[in-house]
């Protein structure tokens, strides 16, 4: 059996990323708009890649004691994930 799953659109990806923290009880903005845009562009709609980048973003932001993920933090996470 073969199955082809299309990637998420940018709007679906945006909802996916912004709603996940709400499920964990976090109601503040976690990702700045430019960080979110970089994540979605890099992941190309693939949920697993979005998750990996977001996880890396949160770890980096925590290590820098940031309250939100910035564009710079997102780019660092994207590079870390791509370099594997």
- 3-state SS, one letter per residue, for the chain: CCCCCCCCCHHHHHHHHHHHHHHCCCCCCCECHHHHHHHHHHHCCCHHHHHHHHHHHHHHHHHCCCCCECHHHHHHHHHHHHHC
CA dist 84 and 81 (Å) reads: 5
Q: Is the pLDDT assigned to residue 83 strictly greater than 80?
A: yes
pLDDT at 48: 94
10-83: CATH number: 1.10.8
Identify the band that residue 12 occupies on the pLDDT scale cut at 50, 70 and 90.
Answer: very high
Residue with tokens 């659109």: 9
pLDDT tens for residues 14-23? 999 999 999 8
- Residue 66 has which token pair? 């940031």
């Amino acid at each position: 059996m073969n199955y082809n799953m299309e990637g998420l659109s940018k709007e679906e990806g945006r909802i996916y990323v912004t709603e996940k923290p709400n499920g964990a009880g976090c109601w503040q903005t976690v990702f700045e708009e430019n960080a979110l845009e970089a994540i979605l562009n890099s992941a190309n709609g693939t949920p697993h890649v979005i998750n990996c980048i977001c996880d890396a973003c949160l770890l980096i932001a925590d290590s820098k004691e940031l309250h939100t993920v910035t564009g710079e933090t997102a780019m660092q996470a994207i590079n870390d994930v791509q370099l594997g």
